[in-house]
Structure 1
Amino acid sequence: MASDANSLRITGKVQGRDIVLNGPLSKDEIRNKVWWWQIPDPATREEREDRLHRYDGSERDVISTLGGYYVVPDDSRAPEAEELVDMVHAELNPDRR
Structure 2
Amino acid sequence: MATDADAIRITGKVQGRDIILSGPLSKDEIRDRVWWWQTPDAREPHEHGEAQHPHDESARDVIATPGGYYEIPHDPHAREASELIDMLYAELHPAE
Length-normalised TM-score, structure 2? 0.82
In the alignment, the residues of structure 1 paired with residue 28 and residue 6 of structure 2 have an alpha-carbon distance, to the nearest angstrom, of 23
- Distance in 1, matches of 2:59 and 2:78, equals 20
- Cα distance change of structure 1 residues 71 and 94 upon mapping to structure 2, 3 Å threshold: same
CA RMSD for the aligned pairs? 2.0
2:87 match = 87
User: How many residues are treated as equivalent by the alignment?
Assistant: 88
Query: Matches of residues 49-88 of structure 1 in structure 2 within 5 Å?
Result: 49=45, 52-88=52-88
Cα distance, 1:11 vs structure 2 = 0.2
Q: CA deviation at 1:20?
A: 0.2
Asked which structure has the greater CA Rg, the reply is 2
TM-score by length of 1: 0.82
The alpha carbon displacement at 1:47 in A equals: 6.0
Structure 1 residue ranges (4+ consecutive) displaced by more than 3 angstroms after TM superposition? none
Aligned partner letter, 1:78: A
